[in-house]
Amino acid sequence: MSRLKAIDALGQQVWLDSISRKLIESGELARLIAEDGISGVTSNPAIFQQALSKDPAYVAAKAALPATLTDPEARFEALALPDIQAACDAFLPLYDKSNGNKGFVSFEVSPSLSRDADGTFAAAQRLWSAIARPNVMIKIPATPEGLVAIRKSIAAGININVTLMFSPRHVEAVAQAHADGLADRLAAGLPIGQIRSVASVFISRVDSKIDPLVPDALKGKIAIASARVAYADWLAHWGQKGDRFAALAAAGAHPQWLLWASTGTKNAAYRDVLYVETLIGDQTVNTVPEATLNAFRDHGEAAATLAQGVAAARVSLAALADLGIDLNVVGEHLQNEGLVLFEQAFETLLASVGT
């Protein structure tokens, strides 16, 4: 058995944090699904910016765009959305076989809308309709404005991948927005059983920000500790049997799964599969970059680690607080930095597809 498939056997899905036309057309994506059990793909502006700059398959595609299509974002979507649709189609058998629990492909709304609730919701509706696949997820950042759009999108029956989450405050607010959206839809007499959502909690960026501020005993531990506590709290409150989700579950709702993002190690001193091996747990997702996926396939060890060491994790977070470091404040800084990076990548991307 593939080492990656061993993760799936423990109840965690592994998604690839990458997409390109070459990945799909070469048959590599189909191979990853069949041999490694990869059960989803995520994308963001930075990923597409890299794909369009490096994948020669886009050269002819860009040249073939109509000259009358002059809006840069429309040109980008004319290139990207067919890839999202093709990836969705590749995963559709898995989606059907799993009764809609696996096989998702994510596409993000424009980063320029991160502080525009109405604009984000309108974009989510437009993209959902344009892609027209049951196994697509529309990505929305966990900004205050994004939370409003997330609730409205869930109520509208749209699958949502919430991105740029870094702190306990983000985790709680996003879970509440998801539950509120389901409750709104249920109150309107509409079905809720088909909706799926994930909450993408970024991992390695937290340690990169905090490690320089803490003693050696806490270096490389805070992001994992925060994730383990978030998972323990999720099981108690928001999982299928969680007390705060019980009424919605009884009506057929599926809980919003926690997804670990940014799980490639940025510190060369750490094991290259650190943020995969330590965060394996049932009813979660880990979205990994290609290098991390290859590393785990080669030497990763699969074990149910996420639910372990929760008491020690709480001690680590308490020690962080004793140092005067507020993880929620750090999370806001990281989210703002992430928004800037995505905006810059998006601007570069749009410039590359200009007429």
Give the active site residues: 139
Question: Rounded to whole angstroms, how far apart are CA atoms 193 and 101?
Answer: 11
Q: How many whole angstroms separate alpha carbon 138 and alpha carbon 179? A: 17
From the number of C-beta atoms within 10 Å of its C-beta (0-12, 13-18, 19+), residue 42 rates as buried
Q: How far is CA 265 from CA 194, 198, 201, 269, 355, in A?
A: 34, 22, 15, 9, 38
User: b/e map of 226-240 (b: 16 or more CB within 10 Å)?
Assistant: bbbbbbbbbbebbbe
- Please answer whether residues 124 and 109 qualify as being in contact, where contact means their C-beta atoms are separated by less than 8 angstroms: yes
Q: 171-209 b/e with 16+ CB inside 10 Å = b?
A: bebbbebbbbbbbbbbeeeeebeebbbbbbbbbbbbbbb
- On whether the CB atoms of residues 139 and 109 are closer than 8 A, the answer is yes
CA distance 272 to 291: 9
Query: How far is the C-alpha of 196 from the C-alpha of 95, rounded, in Å?
Result: 11
Give the DSSP H or E segment for 43: none
Q: How many CA atoms lie within 13 A of 319 on its CB side?
A: 18
Give the helix ranges, DSSP H, for 66-156.
72-97, 117-131, 144-155
Q: Which residues contact 30 (CB under 8 A, 6 or more apart)?
A: 90
Sign of CA dihedral 178, 150, 190, 98: negative
Instruction: Give the containing element (helix H, strand E) for 214.
Output: none
